[in-house]
């Protein structure tokens, strides 16, 4: 669920915008994917996220156009008035708090009751996060979804990395629906629904969402600037995680980046992810990680994922 990672995922089910934690497709998902993303990430869960300063090396992904001027080959056309982001209701907020509590405790049984469509891949991804001690939900915002009783939810949260005192700010995104019994549920696989994906993408262009993303991104960068041990820890995760991760693992975008149609720095740009977006690793070709982008096969350089 990005502007929600190459800048929540937290990851967009895991956002920013994999499963229910997008922040943000967003998210949107920083998170749960940075120290985290499920986690890919809105940061991602993480994700979800290490920023690296690269010299003017022609082999550098950044200088190959992977991080400069992120392009979107198929921007959504907003023909409707902008929706309003508001503080989420008590019921939605409690759902999200329950989700992150269960997520931090790796309480799979509870997660299956909260998220509709929870998969074995989700379980594997959650159980693999041994470097995260817990999550702290800060603020929960919502916009109206496509149907009555549905919401696009943006979660500002911190995740705590093992052995690191400074919390990591993150952003993730969820799509929440009301089931036939009147219960709120996080919709797993929301990013695979064409209508939902298009709607969430439209919302990402709205000023209040952009402002929220910018704020969390600034907080995230400030946390690293103020704690060198955190920056080094996150950089280490980025160096190791994407290449060694199994297919199905949620990864977090560490910088705003391009998504290419082929595993090649000259490949066609078909879109882009924002830092913090959580994405699911589908495969790997050399130094390129295969991902799904709006139903298409795309590739992101491994140095831009963790």
What single string gives the DSSP state of each residue in 287-304?
A: TEEEEEETTEEEEEEGGG
Q: Is the pLDDT of residue 240 over 70?
A: no
What single string gives the DSSP state of each residue in 112-158?
A: HHHEET--HHHHHHHHT-TTEEEEEEEEEEEEE-SSTT-EEEEEEEE
Cis peptide before 211 (omega within 30 of 0): no
Q: Is the pLDDT of residue 209 over 90?
A: yes
Residue 4 lies in a domain: no
Predicted local confidence at residue 40, as pLDDT: 34
Q: Is the pLDDT of residue 1 over 60?
A: no
pLDDT bucket at 241, cuts 50 / 70 / 90: low
Which residue range is the domain that position 146 belongs to?
A: 62-304
pLDDT bucket at 243, cuts 50 / 70 / 90: low
Largest alpha-carbon pair distance within the chain? 57
Q: Is the pLDDT of residue 15 over 70?
A: no
Predicted local confidence at residue 117, as pLDDT: 84
Q: What whole-number distance in Å separates Cα of residue 291 and Cα of residue 260?
A: 10
Distance between start and end Cα atoms, the chain: 16
CATH number at residue 108: 3.10.450.100
Which comes out higher in pLDDT, residue 111 or 47?
111
Q: How far is CA 12 from the centre of its chain?
A: 6
64 three-class SS: helix
**Mean pLDDT, residues 94-99 taken together:** 96
Predicted local confidence at residue 195, as pLDDT: 93
Residue 8 lies in a domain: no
State what percent of residues in the chain have pLDDT above 70: 70
Q: Is the pLDDT of residue 43 over 90?
A: no
**Mean pLDDT, residues 108-127 taken together:** 85
Residue 57 lies in a domain: no
301 strand-pairing partners: 288
pLDDT bucket at 67, cuts 50 / 70 / 90: low
Q: Is the pLDDT of residue 74 over 90?
A: no
**Mean pLDDT, residues 25-37 taken together:** 37
Predicted local confidence at residue 24, as pLDDT: 34
Predicted local confidence at residue 245, as pLDDT: 66
Which comes out higher in pLDDT, residue 59 or 283?
283
Q: What whole-number distance in Å separates Cα of residue 167 and Cα of residue 135?
A: 9
Q: What whole-number distance in Å separates Cα of residue 34 and Cα of residue 252?
A: 6
Predicted local confidence at residue 53, as pLDDT: 37
Residue 160 lies in a domain: yes
Q: Is the pLDDT of residue 93 over 60?
A: yes
Give the lowest-confidence range in 44-53, 111-120, 265-274: 44-53
**Mean pLDDT, residues 79-106 taken together:** 89
**Mean pLDDT, residues 95-105 taken together:** 94
pLDDT digits (tens, 9 = 90+) for 141-167: 999 999 999 999 999 999 998 899 999
pLDDT digits (tens, 9 = 90+) for 167-190: 999 999 999 999 999 999 999 888
pLDDT digits (tens, 9 = 90+) for 278-287: 888 888 888 8
Say how many domains are in the chain. Answer: 1
Verdict on whether the full-model pTM lies above 0.85: no
Residue 119 lies in a domain: yes
Q: Is the pLDDT of residue 223 over 80?
A: yes
Residue 38 lies in a domain: no
């Amino acid at each position: 669920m990005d502007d929600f990672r190459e800048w929540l995922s937290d990851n967009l089910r895991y956002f920013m915008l994999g499963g229910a934690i997008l922040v943000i497709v967003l998210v949107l998902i920083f998170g749960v994917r940075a120290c985290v993303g499920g986690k890919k990430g809105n940061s991602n869960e993480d994700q979800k996220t290490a920023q690296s300063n690269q010299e003017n090396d022609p082999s550098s992904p950044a200088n190959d156009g992977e991080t400069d001027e992120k392009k979107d080959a198929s921007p959504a056309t907003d023909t409707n008035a902008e929706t309003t982001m508001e503080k989420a209701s008590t019921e939605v907020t409690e759902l999200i708090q329950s989700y992150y509590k269960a997520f931090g405790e790796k309480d799979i049984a509870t997660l299956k009751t909260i998220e509709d469509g929870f998969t074995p891949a989700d379980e594997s991804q959650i159980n693999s996060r041994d470097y995260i001690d817990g999550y702290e939900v800060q603020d929960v915002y919502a916009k109206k979804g496509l149907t009555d009783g549905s919401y696009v939810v943006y979660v500002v949260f911190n995740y705590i990395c093992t052995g690191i005192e400074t919390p990591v700010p993150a952003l993730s995104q969820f799509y929440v629906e009301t089931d036939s019994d009147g219960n709120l549920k996080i919709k797993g696989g929301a990013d695979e629904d064409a209508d939902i994906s298009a709607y969430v993408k439209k919302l990402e262009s709205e000023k209040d969402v952009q402002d929220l993303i910018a704020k969390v991104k600034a907080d995230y960068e400030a946390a690293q600037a103020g704690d060198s041990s955190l920056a080094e820890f996150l950089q280490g995760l980025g160096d190791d995680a994407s290449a060694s991760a199994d297919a199905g693992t949620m990864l977090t975008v560490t910088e705003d980046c391009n998504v290419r149609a082929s595993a090649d720095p000259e490949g066609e740009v078909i879109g882009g992810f924002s830092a913090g977006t959580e994405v699911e690793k589908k495969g790997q070709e050399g130094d390129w990680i295969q991902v799904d982008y709006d139903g298409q096969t795309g590739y992101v350089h491994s140095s831009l994922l963790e």
